[in-house]
Amino acid sequence: MRFLLNGILALILGVAGYQLYLLFFQKQELVAEMRRLSRQTEPIKGENQRLTSDLDYFKREENLAKELKTRFNYTKQGEKLIIIVPEND
């Protein structure tokens, strides 16, 4: 009877050890994938920060008007616009 209990205990410990072995390698794979995904998110985080900064900038009405004037030669009624073109060398 004692021999049977020791055999069952050894079998249980063997299966548990094997499962721990598999879990260790799964953990290593997941850590490697997490690092890879983390490297991929860094540029996106930078772009997100830039876009948030631009959004905060354009929320102010005077900045939006300034950009409209700069990019699209927008003028308010009654304003005059002078366009200066640099000389070519």
Domain residue ranges of the chain, discontinuous segments joined by +: 2-72
Residue 89 has pLDDT above 70, yes or no: no
Listed in sequence order, the DSSP H helices in the chain are 2-59, 61-72
Q: Which residue has the higher pLDDT, 57 or 89?
A: 57
Q: Are 43 and 49 in contact (CB under 8 A)?
A: no
Is 84 a residue whose pLDDT tops 90? no
The residue type of 75 is: T
Show the tokens assigned to 9: 């205990």
> Distance (Å, rounded) from C-alpha 10 to C-alpha 23?
20
Query: How far is residue 74's CA from residue 68's CA, in Å, rounded to a whole number?
Result: 6
Instruction: Indicate whether this model's pTM tops 0.75.
Output: no
Alpha-carbon span 19 to 30, nearest angstrom: 16
